[in-house]
Amino acid sequence: MKAAPALDVERIRKDFPILQEQVNGHPLVYLDSAATSQKPISVIRAISDYYLHANANVHRGVHALGERATEIFEQARRDVARFVSAEERGVIFVRNTTEGLNLVAQAYARPRFGPQDRIVATIMEHHSNLVPWQQVREQTGCQLEFIGITDEGRLDWEDVERLLRAPTRLLAVTHVSNVLGTINPIQELVRLAHSEGITVCVDGAQAVPHMPVSISDLGADFYAFSGHKMLGPTGVGVLWGRPELLEEMPPFLTGGSMISVVQLDHTTWDEVPHKFEAGTPDIAGAAGLSAAISYLEGLGMDAVRRHEEELADYAIEVLSEVRGLTQYGPRGSDRAGVLSFNLDGVHPHDVGTILDREGVAVRAGHHCCQPLMGRLQVAATARASFGVYNQPQSVAVLASALGLVSKIFA
């Protein structure tokens, strides 16, 4: 007996107005959720409702609108903490994953590290979790080394065991690769790192939207993710930090809101997490993020994970029948709903352009992972990435459109 679908995708799709769009005369098939997800109507309304009924600044007004805005903003913080099973005091609102990782680099690593210390990242990192550590290396003289990957697209465990020891002070690692779909064993990496006194900073941008994530279970010291990849708006993201570490760190940005007392000769900082939230935050974005969390919780993250895992397995099978197509990334349960591929003799940008003519939206390029492209010995790939609103029919349309690409370039 066939198992019931994890999600009622036909019902879900009705919640996303943009999926009714026509692109070049075809129904939109959106397969670029790893870049940014589409938004359900409940998220769009939450943003609109904030501006219609609560538009004011937070943490400063004593009037009714200011109190409403503050409650919306702080409720979003509580929602985030619950969603990722983390201590609320460690939830810092930032613009995106990139800003969160830069905050760790500049406020945690830069003041602590010197030429005798080492930062370790992996070759599969997004530039957001690589370039900030290059900057710290330039600023402090510390060493920066990288864990390689196997031909299957998993971390090279010999490198892991060699590098997770002195003089390493920090491990920067993605939870899920935005190119390979590899789900890295964060809990095991944290265990190994902590046994050597190494701090762990995780890029969770591709994990939090697609699977259950418990930061308390993972044990990471820092964990960053973006709202726009998890059905929420652009311009708002989260850095979670271990509160005792945040207490020791200087602020990343300074100015209004993050202060306690300002005098002409010195300033004292507000308490964590407000110490790291300078200026007016994206309050509407926080409202939208809260609505996105409610939507995902309503679906159930276990069901979201099962749906996307099944869809990825189906896509790997179907695309393996496309002549001349090479797929990248592991096979198995440690794989997320991201599928990168190339067609023999066709540049990925040409693949993406022709697919767009058929209404299919994929990503083409290096995906902000140029060192990984070098490891794969390609300049770029095309990438299909799945969300809760995709269905097997989406994969069938992709495969058919790829067949057209092959005919054009035959």
Q: Which residue has tokens 């276990």? A: 302
Upstream peptide bond of 167 is cis (omega within 30 degrees of 0): yes
Three-class secondary structure of residue 58 per DSSP: coil
Three-class secondary structure of residue 138 per DSSP: helix
Q: Which residue has tokens 């979790």? A: 129
Beta-carbon contacts of residue 202 (< 8 Å; ≥ 6 apart): 173, 174, 175, 186, 218, 220, 222, 223, 224
Quote the CA–CA distance of 324 and 327 in Å, as a whole number. Answer: 10
Three-class secondary structure of residue 325 per DSSP: strand
Selection from 18, 30, 33 nearest residue 304 by Cα: 33
Pairing label, strands 267-269, 26-27: unpaired
Q: What is the DSSP string of 185-226?
A: -HHHHHHHHHHTT-EEEEE-TTTTTTS---HHHH--SEEEEE
Quote the CA–CA distance of 227 and 149 in Å, as a whole number. Answer: 29
Q: Which residue has tokens 């069938």? A: 396
Cα 103 from chain centroid? 16
353 C-beta neighbours (distance < 10 Å), count = 12
Whether 368 is a known active-site residue: answer yes
DSSP 232: S
Catalytic residue among 142, 201, 368, 369: 368
DSSP 128: G
Q: How many CA atoms lie within 13 A of 19 on its CB side?
A: 24
| CB 370, CB 311: distance < 8 Å | no
- Positions annotated as catalytic residues are 368
